[in-house]
Amino acid sequence: MSPDSGPHALLRIDGAQALTGVAPLPRWAQVQLARTPWVVVRRAAASAAVLPVGIRGAVRGERLAAWLPRAAVREAVTPQQLAARAGWRAHPRAGAVAALAALEAVARLMAAAALAWGPTGSVGFELATGAATAHAASDLDLILSAPSLLSRPAARELYAALARLPVRCDVQLDTPRGGLALAEYVNSGGPFLLRTAHGPLRSADPWRQCEAAG
């Protein structure tokens, strides 16, 4: 797996037998991986040998954490790569799924703001795998790379522009300290709740130090 394929990257595997940490797999997970042998990288501590991954089923309640040996990765696709491919432009279901149709407007907004971004969630999974996982009422989950400080005025402007789209956008900033909801960054004075590989942490500045959430 590419070293930059972090949380939210989608990984193609050979099937359920490639996974460790859960045995036996529930029936729904076995069926899902037989049909679509892809998993998503979770935000949890990895090792030199294994990666934390998640299996997603047909409905929201079907989610399962597992571990994948790095050597078992057959293909890795990051959200940023999905954005660069712009596969939604020729997607046969774009007319029926508002979240897919909205990606072109999102791409224009992100290009204007010079932000690296990508779709995650059901939309990202569908773009990577070809499986019809998004539906007409799906939210549009996005991740924005934020290796350096994103100013609050710029964040508010982006948040307002995304709110005008005809689909609800759930946006996460990927900061050096962890994942931060754009809505919280815009609407809260802090400290902010970050999702990290070692659990939730609180930070007054997501680009500096954190404190354990309590």
Beta bridge partners of 178: 175
141 classed as catalytic = yes
Rg (CA), the chain: 17
Q: What pairing do the DSSP bridges indicate for beta strands 10-12 and 50-56?
A: unpaired
Which member of 14, 139, 170, 174 is catalytic? 139
CA–CA gap between residue 115 and residue 80 (Å, rounded): 10
Helix (H) or strand (E) holding 83: helix 79-85
Q: Are 11 and 53 in contact (CB under 8 A)?
A: yes
Which member of 141, 170, 174, 205 is catalytic? 141
CA–CA gap between residue 103 and residue 107 (Å, rounded): 6
The residues assigned a catalytic role are 139, 141
